[in-house]
Amino acid sequence: MMRAGAGRSDITPAQGTHLSGDGMGIHRPARSVFDSLYARALVVESGERRICLLTLDLLCVTLEYTQRIREAAARQFGFKQEAILVHSAQNHSSPSLGNLMLDPDFPFQPEPDKEYIGGAEKAYGEMAVTRSLEAIAQACGCLRPVQMGWGRAVVEGLAFNRRAIRTDGAIGMPWFYRGADQPLGPTGIRCIEGPFDPEVGVVAFRGDDMRLAALLLHFSCHPVNVYATDKYAVSGDWPGAWSAAMRESFPDRPESLVLNGCCGNLNPWPAFTPDFVPDHRRMGGALAERSRRVVERLAFTPTDTLDWRMRCVPLDYRDVPDVRRQEADRVLRDHPSLKWDAARNEVDVNWFLAASTKSIEYCRKRWPRFPYEIQVFRIGDAAIVGLPGEPFVEGQLAIKVQSPAACVQVAHMSTQYVGYMPTREACARGGHEANDSCTYWAKLAPDSLDVVVDNVKAMIKELFA
């Protein structure tokens, strides 16, 4: 008999905490709170096997923090470490759990007030780890027999491919715009490069008493509605709004964990619709409306199938062109510690980008091939896939199509931040996610996504054989 329990803990940052997700080292101290942030945990147990899914309303989690959480949870609650999946929603209106912008080996000793340049602040990290373990403890403390159901809906109009092929052949990122300013639309765009994933996925756990114990919700889109409109507000963006709306939708107030899928190239605004206003609550509400319909139609069945696999796949790095490497070296030689732009009162952008490029070299020194961790959990008929970084949606779709698992939910930004994983074709076109500056967030070789997809498919096949 399968047992499940869920818990959550508030991880809303204090005022002034740095909000992560800006690519140029810009300081974004929290000034207001639109929504509280949470760590949510789902624990599922069958016989001797026990798994934990931890979702964080945060931008990212680094390997250092994932390891701390795994070690502590394994020690305190008896999990195997590889049976703990730590997923951050990539919410751009929240702090980060660990430095994602520069490699941990990059020699950078900032003043305390400049700590944010690395991407995160330790004080917040300590609080978030403690609270995350509290959420897991809650989940472990309320395990009860459950049946499981899964379903899906499809929706469009909430996530959009954000790679626009411009008329000059380059890649641009569409932004929302005023119709009065651009009456003919963004005519510099020839077409959109790729697809989106319309799937709204639901896995539900229901007790023998008919009470909903927990929901796993899946959709795929950058959570940047609030970031794009108020850079200093704390918010759970659409994952938080969706989770809150689902919790309030049912009398048992089930804990609702959102698994944000591969959305490296998806944004929540359309390229060609004038006067579109990003709104995380509207988006969360629309997803809740769809997923409620799914829950209302679910058929629950008992299951005791619980299993997992973890693989570490070596990935190659991009080759940083000599010209770029020399340029980065020159900037860092002239300013080995930090170059400050006094006029902007921010870190100098060129220095920051040079440090970002140089970070690839440090990463490569540590790991000649990048050890990419893939996790796949099997819970009944559902496959839950944890992938680090920001794979493009094409990878997720390739995993889902013709999958032996009836239900597949992919959680990107799991375990650690590795940057974008574009398709080969996208790498050739460039753009923010595969930029010529060779930044730390665009460090993996063009074949990486294909390698990861092949491995995930093999792991699912093994679990569902």
Partner 1 sequence: MTRGVRSAGRATPPAVPFGLSGKGLMVSMPNSSLRAGAAKVDITPAPGTHLGGTWGTLRGGEVVLERIYARALVLEQDGHRLCLVAPDLEIVTAPWARQVREGVHAACGITPDNVMVAFPQIHSVPPVGNFLIDDALPNIPPEHEYLRGSQTAYCEFAVKAMIEAAVAAFRQLRPVRVAVERAVRDDLAFNRRGVRRDGGITMPWFYPGLQQPLGPTDIACLEGPVDPEVGLLALKDTTDRFVAAVLHFSCHPVNVYATVPHAISSDWPGTWAAGVEHLLGDGCVGLVANGCCGNLNPWPAFMPDFVPDHRRMGRELTRTVTAMIPGLRFAESTGLASAVRHVPLPIKQADTKDRAWAETLLRDHPAPQWQKQNPRQAEWDWMDAAMLMSVELERERHPDYDYEIQAFRVGPAALIGLPGEPFVEAQLAIKQASPAALNLVAHGANDYAGYIAPRASYARGGHEIREKPAKWTKLAPGALETLVDQTVQTVGELYR
Interface with partner 1 (CB under 8 A): 151-157, 165, 167, 169, 183-187, 189-193, 195-199, 270-273, 290, 293-294, 297, 397, 400-403
Cβ distance to partner 1 smaller for residue 184 or 323 = 184
User: What's the closest the beta carbon of residue 269 comes to partner 1, in angstroms?
Assistant: 12
User: What's the closest the beta carbon of residue 8 comes to partner 1, in angstroms?
Assistant: 27
The CA-CA-CA angle for residues 14, 20, 22, to 5°, reads 140
The residue with tokens 């030689």 is 333
Hey, is 258 helix, strand or coil?
Answer: strand
* Count of helix runs (H) and strand runs (E) in the chain: 9, 23
User: What's the closest the beta carbon of residue 188 comes to partner 1, in angstroms?
Assistant: 9
User: What's the closest the beta carbon of residue 187 comes to partner 1, in angstroms?
Assistant: 5
CA distances from 254 to 160, 270, 295 (A): 29, 32, 12
Cβ distance to partner 1 smaller for residue 154 or 343 = 154
Cβ distance to partner 1 smaller for residue 33 or 155 = 155
Beta-sheet pairing, 212-219 with 255-260: parallel
User: What's the closest the beta carbon of residue 450 comes to partner 1, in angstroms?
Assistant: 15
Cβ distance to partner 1 smaller for residue 32 or 182 = 182
Cβ distance to partner 1 smaller for residue 112 or 183 = 183
Q: Encoding tokens for residue 139?
A: 């989940």
End-to-end CA distance of the chain, in Å?
Answer: 21
User: What's the closest the beta carbon of residue 380 comes to partner 1, in angstroms?
Assistant: 18
The residue with tokens 């899964």 is 150
User: What's the closest the beta carbon of residue 246 comes to partner 1, in angstroms?
Assistant: 16
Cβ distance to partner 1 smaller for residue 343 or 401 = 401
User: What's the closest the beta carbon of residue 296 comes to partner 1, in angstroms?
Assistant: 9
Compute the distance between CA of residue 100 and CA of residue 95 in angstroms, rounded to an integer.
Answer: 11
Compute the distance between CA of residue 358 and CA of residue 451 in angstroms, rounded to an integer.
Answer: 25
Task: Name which of 437, 329, 330, 355 is nearest 107 in CA terms.
Answer: 355
Interhelix angle 63-77/122-141, nearest 10 degrees: 30
The residue with tokens 């809740």 is 288
User: What's the closest the beta carbon of residue 391 comes to partner 1, in angstroms?
Assistant: 15
Per-residue DSSP letters for 90-142? --TTS--BS--SS-TTS-----GGGGGGGT--HHHHHHHHHHHHHHHHHHHHT
Cβ distance to partner 1 smaller for residue 23 or 198 = 198
Amino acid at 344: R
Strand 255-260's sheet: what is its strand order? Answer: 84-88, 49-56, 38-46, 2-10, 144-154, 199-207, 212-219, 255-260
Cβ distance to partner 1 smaller for residue 201 or 278 = 201
Within a 10 A sphere around the Cβ of 178, how many other Cβ atoms?
10
Cβ distance to partner 1 smaller for residue 67 or 403 = 403
